[in-house]
C-alpha cells in the first residue's frame, strides 16, 4: 500500500510560491504534481493530468517529504559534459600516439581505446575514441 504524505498549509503555499516564480518547464510540472497532491488528487488523477507515472508521482512526493522545497530549487542535471577525462587529459593521452603518427606510424583506434579505458578505469564504447579524436581535430581518414 502506498505511503500517504500529509502536507501542511505552509508547504502548500511554499509550492505555489515557487510555481509562480519558476520558468523551468520541467520543474513547473513537478511542482504542479506536488500542488495537485496537496489539493487532494490521487496518483491516478494526477497521472492523467500530467502524463507522469503513478510511481514517479509517488517518488516526487517522497522527495519533497524528505528534503523539502530546497530539493526542487537545486539544479539536478549534470550539464553537458559527461566525459571521462578532461580535454587536457585527453590531449595528454593522445600525445604519444600523435608523436608516433608524426614519425609515420599508423594510428590505431583500438590502441587508443585501450589506453583511454585504462586511463579512466573502465571500459567505454567504441565510438568514444572517435569522438575524442574529433574533439581534438584529428582526422581518421588518410590525406
What is the distance between the alpha carbons of residues 113 and 119, in angstroms, rounded to a whole number? 10
What contacts 24+ positions apart, CB below 8 Å, involve 60-69?
Answer: 60/30, 60/33, 60/34, 61/5, 61/33, 61/34, 61/37, 62/3, 62/5, 64/5, 64/11, 64/15, 64/34, 65/5, 65/7, 69/11, 69/14, 69/15, 69/18
pLDDT score at 3 = 58
pLDDT score at 137 = 87
10-33: average pLDDT: 90
> Nearest CA to 135 among 81, 55, 99, 58?
81
pLDDT of 95 over the 90 cut: yes
Greater model confidence, 57 or 70: 57
Ranges 20-24, 30-34, 70-74: which has the least confidence: 70-74
| Residues 43/54, Cβ–Cβ less than 8 Å | yes
pLDDT score at 72 = 81
Helices (H), 22-108: 25-38, 43-50, 54-67, 70-73, 87-102
The set of cell numbers assigned to 67 is: 528534503
Percent over 90 (pLDDT), the chain: 41
Chain-centroid distance of CA 15 in Å reads 24
Chain-centroid distance of CA 98 in Å reads 33
CA-angle at 136, arms to 133 and 141, nearest 5°: 45
pLDDT of 20 over the 50 cut: yes
The set of cell numbers assigned to 19 is: 510555481
Amino acid at each position: 500500500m502506498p505511503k500517504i504524505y500529509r502536507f501542511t498549509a505552509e508547504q502548500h503555499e511554499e509550492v505555489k510560491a515557487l510555481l509562480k516564480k519558476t520558468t523551468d518547464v520541467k520543474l513547473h510540472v513537478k511542482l504542479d504534481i506536488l500542488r495537485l497532491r496537496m489539493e487532494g488528487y490521487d496518483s491516478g488523477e494526477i497521472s492523467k493530468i500530467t502524463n507522469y507515472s503513478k510511481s514517479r508521482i509517488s517518488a516526487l512526493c517522497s522527495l519533497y517529504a524528505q528534503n523539502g522545497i530546497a530539493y526542487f530549487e537545486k539544479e539536478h542535471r549534470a550539464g553537458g559534459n559527461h566525459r571521462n577525462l578532461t580535454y587536457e587529459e585527453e590531449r595528454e593521452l593522445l600525445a604519444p600516439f600523435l608523436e608516433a603518427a608524426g614519425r609515420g606510424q599508423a594510428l590505431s583506434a583500438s590502441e587508443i581505446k585501450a589506453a583511454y579505458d585504462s586511463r579512466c578505469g573502465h571500459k567505454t564504447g567504441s565510438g568514444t575514441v572517435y569522438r575524442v579524436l574529433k574533439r581534438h581535430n584529428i582526422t581518421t581518414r588518410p590525406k
